[in-house]
Chain A
Amino acid sequence: MPVQEETRAVADSSRRKFLGVTGVVAGLALFDELARSPEDALAAYEAEIEALGSRTPQAVAGRQSADVLERMRAELERALQKPSSERRWVMVIDLRKCIGCHACTIACVAENKLPPGVVYRPVIEEESGTYPNVMRRFIPRPCMQCENPPCVPVCPVNATWKNEEGIVAMDYERCIGCRYCLTACPYSARTADFGFTYTEGTPVGAGVVGEKNADDYERAANYEYGNQYPRENLRSSPVGNARKCHFCQHRILEGVLPACVTTCIGRATLFGDANDPESLVAEMIAQPNVMRLKEELGTEPRVYYLI
Chain B
Amino acid sequence: MADMRQDLRELYQEVIFDHNRHPRNFHALEHASHAADGYNPLCGDQLTVYLRVEDGIVREASFVGHGCAISTASASLMTEAVKGLPVDEVEALFQDMHAMLTTSHPEGRDFGKLEVLAGVREFPARVKCASLAWHTLHNALAGTGDTAKTE
- Say if A and B assemble together: no
Chain A interface (Cβ < 8 Å from any Cβ of B): none
